Amino acid sequence: MVEPRRREILRLVRDGELPAGAIAAHFPDVSRPTISQHLRVLRTAGLIAERREGTRRLYRTAPGGLDDVRTFLDEFWDSRLELLKAETESEQQRGDRGRR
């Protein structure tokens, strides 16, 4: 199972390079060491690339990383099933109201 925050990080760095601080700022409820840990795992998995600029560390999608079919479909089914849950549950509620 893919950790949702890691998927979110992949999404963030898909369109351009971001410093670690900017990535961490997207997750105000997550500690900085946890974000660093996620970045480390993603880097080890070859999904993101790291570049150092002075004291800053910058991250971007590794070539071929996010194009990976598996990663795409992981994200695809998660987001679609969330929609399905919302749609079917509101359909159920409409039905329940209709029967009252």
Partner 1 sequence: MIGGGEGPLVREIHIAAAPEIVFAFFVDADKLTRWLAAEATLDPRAGGDCLQVHAGSEDGRHGPVHMIGRFLEVDPPTRVVFSWGFVEPECGVPPASSTVEVVLEPEGAGTRLRLTHRDLPSTQVDDHRRGWTQMLERLQRATTRTTEDR
Which residues of the shown chain bind partner 1 in the complex (CB under 8 A)?
2-3, 6, 15, 41-42, 45-47, 64-65, 67-71, 73-74, 77-78, 80-81, 83-89, 91-92, 95
Nearer to partner 1, 54 or 83 (CB): 83
Nearest distance, CB of residue 81 and partner 1, angstroms: 6
DSSP per position, 6-26:
HHHHHHHTSSS-EEHHHHHHT
Nearer to partner 1, 44 or 55 (CB): 44
Bridge partners of 50, per DSSP, are 59
Nearest distance, CB of residue 30 and partner 1, angstroms: 17
List CB contacts of 29: < 8 A, sequence separation 6 or more: none
Nearest distance, CB of residue 54 and partner 1, angstroms: 29
Nearer to partner 1, 56 or 88 (CB): 88
List CB contacts of 22: < 8 A, sequence separation 6 or more: none
**What span, in angstroms and rounded, lies between the C-alpha atoms of 27 and 73?**
23
Nearer to partner 1, 31 or 92 (CB): 92
- Helix (H, G, I), strand (E, B), or coil: what is residue 58? strand
